[in-house]
Structure 1
């Protein structure tokens, strides 16, 4: 088993990791970190959520940037504000005992003026959603001229959320002498286009097997019921798991709002996060959920990107995901960091075939819920 030291990580960062209880690298970290530290190639890593991707690209970036320079040298693109906040917070914790590297996160849904003011300070690494970064580039607040390291996190999600043109423009803005590190759970056509256009032909490609990631710790179960009975079946499931915490996914904002009202009417400890909410309200709900003040979170797929909450016992798919990749991200909220988790699909008789299609495509076993 490798250690972070044998992978090439310096002692200051290792001390920061140890304080966070991180002592042994995951497979994606073990395979990515030595390659990213070499400075001579691009990298493509296919790995599920919850496998330690942030440290896989974050530690090399922190170690390689020049903390004495006030130029932006590292750029991390991520699909949502929650994921941007999470990445920036984690990088900050990693550097507790290292030369200070300043990391700033910028994302939509928050006042751009406040972010522009923070960017007046020396910043070595920017974590950004593509849309907000484009806004800041248009205002000439940020220069990417000195960027040497680019990490694309959950690249497939950025594409599915409509950021393809923004990603292409951003990568076009960055000079030739840079390394691009692309991480994605799936490899749709758009990802192959990015690889072909922007990455070196000899870019190293690594795929972490599902058995090495989060999925081996998740059981996948389905319950067949009428659409009109879904709420009743959900309440029955929650009553049986009343001492546990989890997330419930809906396809639409309206469905998430309606379901949350029904669950609150049953005096359940629940709240909702969806795309129409303001940033302050979203942050408030997430603080309550992470701190354990509420046990259940109803969410839409887009709103839930990047949510990382420890010790979630289950995920319930109240409505099936609209895209196959969404199932990977939904189920990946549970079973993290070696813990066990359960992914439960509530489906009608007509939807049963879609469950088998998901299971076949994503290579998991789906069994009826007892």
Structure 2
């Protein structure tokens, strides 16, 4: 762990952020000066940065053990927060632990304890029972999207974890839901509430679309015709439905990715990577993608299947019209199907099929080297620009992971780049370059 702490200004400069938004400024002040804070703010408004900045300020650079524990409901959110902390370049180590990866890998990383541990309640509870890491220096606890953790069945694990942390002096709870109930086991007394759920100026336009057929597949294709070159998410309730819709979209030459809980973690992560870098403009997803994942600004979402509840409707819609931007939520329903009470019908929206096909602009290349090999984004950019002869505007998004990296490149150049760059050397490491 570095003993040189970066101040807030340096961190924001590194992240490319000129200034904090009002919610972040209020949260920073509240978390810095209060023992219990409940932060309520819509998805995409910067809650992660809002609680990380004051927490980093409070860390002891001399301490060699975990000082902050952040509990999250999903693997994706754990990975996302770990990534944000690393991108902040604070000098403090952070690790994420979650189900779906080898426990032995966790133990290796935790043998050199991070200052901040991010994890799902199930995996963190497992580590606590096995005594993998010391707990005496954990003084700050963040329950991020805590209502979602309760919703997906982590109550017992969270109760157990809090009972084993006797030296907590600061607790932060976050949610994107208005109607929340703080569980008694959280031990929150007289919290300071920061509520920005109803203060945003986001411009969400909800449109209901009637389909003459019950399966709605052709209506979906017609609706996507003018939209398919803009980033959007199509929400389904079941993974079987996703497969059915996916087959129909491919049949109509509409490129897309899929994301649901039945996928392997690696495949889910790669779907998000390709969605973020533009390889996919469309993502077919269950409500797993409604919150707690890092995806780009979405211009529209489509409720292919109607959500089961008002909170689900809200969270799905929260993926678009974020941070004062415009966005559209399309509600696709069979003409003989009644809408639930929480969805207000709009005048019939006519959709017409257009002949234009989606062209795949980007492909994503995998590189078998990452941070642990001392490889930086600059090293990767240099390889593709110099040895790969790409122009700067042809180099897409680079995502650098601990042991690998992903690079978006023009689809028509992917093959020649693989031929040219495979088995090249980056920081003394011979790396494989392949298409994913």
Partner of 2:342 in structure 1?
Answer: 357
SS in 2 for 1:302: helix
Partner of 2:359 in structure 1?
Answer: none
Check 1:79–1:340 CA distance in 2 against 1; reply closer, same or farther (3 A cut).
same
Partner of 1:265 in structure 2?
Answer: 251
Q: d(CA) in 1 for partners of 2:177 and 2:269?
A: 28
Partner of 1:167 in structure 2?
Answer: 158
SS in 2 for 1:210: coil
CA deviations 1:137-185 (Å, max 9, x no partner) are 2222133332111111111211111111111111111115421101112
Q: CA deviation at 1:14?
A: 1.9
Q: d(CA) in 2 for partners of 1:105 and 1:41?
A: 24
Does structure 2 retain, via aligned residues, the 8 Å contact 1:156–1:188? no
Q: CA deviation at 1:286?
A: 1.7
Q: d(CA) in 2 for partners of 1:351 and 1:72?
A: 53
Alignment of 1:183 onto 2:174: yes
Q: d(CA) in 1 for partners of 2:292 and 2:213?
A: 29
Q: CA deviation at 1:367?
A: 6.1
Aligned Cα root-mean-square deviation (Å): 2.2
Q: How does 1:1-370 map to 2 (within 5 A)?
A: 12-38=7-33, 40-94=34-88, 96=89, 98=90, 100-186=91-177, 188=179, 191-192=181-182, 194=183, 196-212=184-200, 216-226=202-212, 228-302=214-288, 305-349=291-335, 351-354=337-340, 356-358=341-343, 368-370=348-350
Check 1:51–1:25 CA distance in 2 against 1; reply closer, same or farther (3 A cut).
same
Q: d(CA) in 2 for partners of 1:351 and 1:130?
A: 39
Q: d(CA) in 1 for partners of 2:25 and 2:9?
A: 14
CA deviations 1:233-258 (Å, max 9, x no partner) are 11011102132121111101111122
SS in 1 for 2:216: helix
Q: d(CA) in 1 for partners of 2:218 and 2:100?
A: 35
Q: d(CA) in 2 for partners of 1:358 and 1:133?
A: 38
Q: d(CA) in 1 for partners of 2:44 and 2:188?
A: 27
Ranges in structure 2 where 5+ consecutive residues have no aligned partner: 351-436
Q: d(CA) in 2 for partners of 1:272 and 1:132?
A: 26
TM-score (norm 2): 0.74
Ranges in structure 1 where 5+ consecutive residues have no aligned partner: 1-9, 360-364
Q: CA deviation at 1:351?
A: 4.8
Check 1:108–1:281 CA distance in 2 against 1; reply closer, same or farther (3 A cut).
same
Check 1:350–1:129 CA distance in 2 against 1; reply closer, same or farther (3 A cut).
farther
Q: d(CA) in 2 for partners of 1:205 and 1:20?
A: 27
Does structure 2 retain, via aligned residues, the 8 Å contact 1:84–1:106? yes
Q: d(CA) in 2 for partners of 1:140 and 1:368?
A: 60
Q: d(CA) in 1 for partners of 2:248 and 2:189?
A: 53
Q: d(CA) in 1 for partners of 2:348 and 2:93?
A: 49
Q: CA deviation at 1:200?
A: 3.9
Between structures 1 and 2, the one with greater helix share: 1
Does structure 2 retain, via aligned residues, the 8 Å contact 1:250–1:318? yes
Partner of 2:355 in structure 1?
Answer: none
Q: CA deviation at 1:217?
A: 2.7
Does structure 2 retain, via aligned residues, the 8 Å contact 1:308–1:333? no
CA deviations 1:335-369 (Å, max 9, x no partner) are 23333211111123565441x4246xxxxx96653
Does structure 2 retain, via aligned residues, the 8 Å contact 1:78–1:158? yes
Partner of 2:424 in structure 1?
Answer: none
Which one has more relative contact order, counting CA pairs under 8 Å at least 6 apart? 1
Does structure 2 retain, via aligned residues, the 8 Å contact 1:224–1:352? no
Does structure 1 retain, via aligned residues, the 8 Å contact 2:310–2:342? no
